[in-house]
Homo-oligomer: A and B are copies of this chain.
Amino acid sequence: MAYHLLQRDQAGAAKLAHALGEALHRLRHCVRCNTFTEDEICQRCANPQRDGRLLCVVEMPADLAMIEQTHAYDGLYYVLMGRLSPLDGIGPRELRMDKLLARATDGVVEEVVLATNFTNEGEATAHMISSLLGARGVRVSRLSRGVPVGGELEHTDSGTIAQALVERRPV
């Protein structure tokens, strides 16, 4: 992208440089959900229509966008801006667990929905958060693991089938 801009679209390059510089100055983290915003509290957190009793924890703003796309969730979010990753020096302190704990125990939140990825780092992050919140008496849940919608067993990996068997649900 950089080569293309410098060789073929210098006006675009200048525009991008300006926009990025502006964003660097203006953007900060929402004091409630930790995502990027230009205000102190982002529009989503300030929206009284959303259900403050549900708090969904995601790794990155892109994950938040994916969940919003489903139109199946009307609670609030907390964006970690990362995941546990000891090799990169990201531990509980770097993820600002203190801020999440304060947010989840504000007296309004009744359930924390862990929506970190189902990768090793995401699972470890979910495990750490559920231990911390469980110790403080907060109700914690996790997105279900299993066969994707529309999926056929024949084209599903055996790890997922094993999980779907163990976590089978009464009908």
Chain A residues close to B by CB (< 8 Å): 58-60, 62-63, 66-67, 69-73, 113-115, 117-119, 122, 126, 130, 134, 139-154, 156-171
Contact = CB atoms under 8 A, between A and B. Distances in A.
Contacts of A158: 66, 69-70
Residue with the greatest number of chain B CB neighbours at <10 A, chosen from A140, A147, A151, A162: A147
A154 B64 CA distance: 9
Best-surrounded residue of A113, A139, A163 (most CB of chain B within 10 A) = A163
A171 B134 contact: yes
A130 B170 CA distance: 10
Contacts of A144: 144-147, 163-164, 167-169
A148 to B, nearest CB: 4
Given A67-B165, A153-B67, A165-B73, A148 B170 contact: no
B150 A148 contact: no
Given A151-B118, A154-B66, A142 B160 contact: no
Nearest to A114: B171
A162 B113 CA distance: 13
A146 B66 CA distance: 14
B146 A143 contact: yes
Contacts of A157: 148-150
17 contacts: A58-B153, A70-B158, A71-B162, A118-B148, A126-B171, A142-B168, A142-B171, A143-B164, A143-B168, A145-B147, A145-B149, A146-B164, A146-B167, A148-B160, A149-B163, A150-B159, A167-B169
